[in-house]
């Protein structure tokens, strides 16, 4: 209550920075005005004189950044729950997970369902539908699901079980999502597979976004997929051909074309820090940080179960027993802190997890758009100390 009262009394905050993807974006200082309800009603750029003439009643943030909370478009579970294995009895634990995500600075997630059987997939979609109806303040919001599979290239399947991969067709798509079309926000597939074009077209008709991932596509095949409506790369550089001077692959084509979101796991294991920084510099407005967190997110390192397999977790990295890299247990905003440390570009790192994903889902066009009309209690304040980025609730 005390925090809410202080927000109501505070009408203007000065010397705020807003995150942005380009060099120099974080240099401009702003003043924000709050209305009687404590909602941001106006954001104004400050000149040097305005910074010096700030009123004594203003709250001075000394150049700290203000941002929305994170939006994670690829997260597979947490607190021991794997989203493809959800049943109705898991609802209380799922609510606990959504509260943990909010505490970890994440406002919304696209719960990711990796390749699995048809019956478990449909059951999980039904449970997620129930969970959305239980949403309340102080809890992370569930977006539509992200189906990562089953239309994936076997050669690039990674940790996805081979027995549940499927050839793309309208029939196999309907078997999985028929009746749940409005519960799905994103589908990752390999566009080079026979039948994929028809599936992409159907998903477009349904208003479901499509991502390229777990794919052997050449630059030319990726380009055809982008022409058909593929709008994102799922965990760029992972489970797809890499950048090569004579074979640019999907990533090279996405960067050349622009406008294609590039999901990036910034744990330092999936993608080397140098490559993560190069990707950010090559395509700053396209980079979207995702966690790729698995069921052990929120639990201690050690051995954990993942469907019928054993998952080995060490220092936040998840591998199968054969060494196959499966995911992480790190919060999304930990990726922001790591990318900021590697790149020395904190503004861009913050933007890539808090504003860039909103552009993908059509929730906002930019940072100001994502902030106006929101209370500080729903936003984040970032500051740097000795080169390390830190965040906290803005109020």
Residues identified as active-site = 292
**Using CA atoms, how far apart are residues 70 and 330, in angstroms rounded to an integer?**
14
- Dist. CA 277–CA 357, nearest whole Å: 18
Dihedral in degrees, nearest 10, Cα atoms 377, 109, 294, 309:
150
What are the Cα distances from residue 337, in Å, to 83, 321, 341, 385? Answer: 26, 29, 6, 12
**Cα distance between residue 73 and residue 42, in whole Å:** 29
- Closest of 93, 104, 36 to residue 70, by C-alpha: 104
Q: Which two tokens stand for residue 385?
A: 């100390």
Q: What secondary structure, in 3-state letters, does 66-120 show?
A: EEECEEEEEECEECCEEHHHCCHHHHHHHHHHHHHHHHCCEEEEEEEEECCCHHH
The DSSP secondary-structure symbol of 223 reads H
The 8 Å CB, 24+ separation contacts for 92-100 are 94/127, 94/131, 95/131, 95/134, 95/139, 97/140, 97/298, 98/131, 98/139, 98/140, 98/141, 98/142, 99/138, 99/139, 99/140, 100/298
> What is the chain's Cα-based Rg?
21
CB atoms inside a 10 Å sphere around CB 283? 22
DSSP 280-293: HHHSTTTEEEE--B
């Amino acid at each position: 209550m005390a925090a809410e009262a202080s927000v109501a009394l505070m009408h203007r905050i000065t010397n705020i920075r807003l995150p942005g993807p380009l060099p120099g974006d974080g240099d401009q200082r702003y003043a924000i005005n709050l209305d009687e309800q404590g909602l941001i009603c106006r954001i104004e750029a400050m000149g040097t004189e305005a910074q010096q003439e700030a009123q004594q009643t203003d709250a001075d943030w000394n150049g700290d950044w203000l941002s929305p909370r994170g939006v994670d478009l690829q997260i597979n579970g947490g607190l021991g729950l794997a989203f493809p294995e959800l049943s109705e009895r898991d609802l209380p634990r799922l609510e606990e997970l959504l509260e943990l995500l909010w505490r970890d600075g994440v406002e919304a997630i696209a719960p990711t369902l990796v390749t699995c059987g048809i019956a478990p997939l449909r059951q999980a979609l039904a449970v997620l539908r129930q969970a959305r109806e239980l949403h309340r303040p102080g809890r992370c919001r569930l977006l539509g699901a992200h189906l990562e599979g089953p239309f994936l290239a076997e050669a690039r399947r990674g940790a996805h079980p081979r027995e549940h991969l499927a050839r793309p067709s309208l029939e196999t798509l309907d078997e999985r999502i028929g009746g749940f079309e409005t519960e799905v926000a994103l589908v990752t597939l390999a566009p080079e597979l026979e039948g994929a074009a028809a599936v992409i077209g159907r998903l477009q008709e349904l208003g479901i976004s499509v991502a390229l991932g777990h794919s052997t596509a050449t630059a030319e095949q990726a380009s055809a997929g982008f022409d058909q409506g593929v709008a994102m790369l799922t965990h760029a550089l992972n489970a797809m051909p890499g950048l090569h001077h004579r074979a640019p692959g999907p990533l090279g084509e996405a960067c050349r074309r622009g406008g294609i979101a590039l999901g990036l796991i910034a744990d330092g294991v999936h993608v080397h820090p140098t490559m993560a920084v190069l990707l950010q510099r090559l395509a700053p407005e396209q980079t979207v940080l995702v966690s790729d967190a698995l069921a052990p997110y929120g639990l201690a390192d050690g051995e954990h179960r993942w469907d019928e397999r054993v998952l080995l977790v060490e220092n936040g990295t998840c591998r199968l027993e054969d060494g196959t890299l499966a995911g992480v247990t790190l919060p999304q905003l930990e990726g922001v802190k790591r990318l900021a440390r590697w790149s020395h570009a904190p503004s861009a790192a913050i933007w890539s997890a808090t504003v860039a994903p909103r552009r993908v889902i059509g929730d906002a066009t930019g940072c100001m758009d994502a902030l106006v009309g929101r209370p500080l209690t729903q936003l984040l304040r970032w500051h740097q100390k000795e080169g390390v980025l830190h965040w906290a609730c803005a109020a």
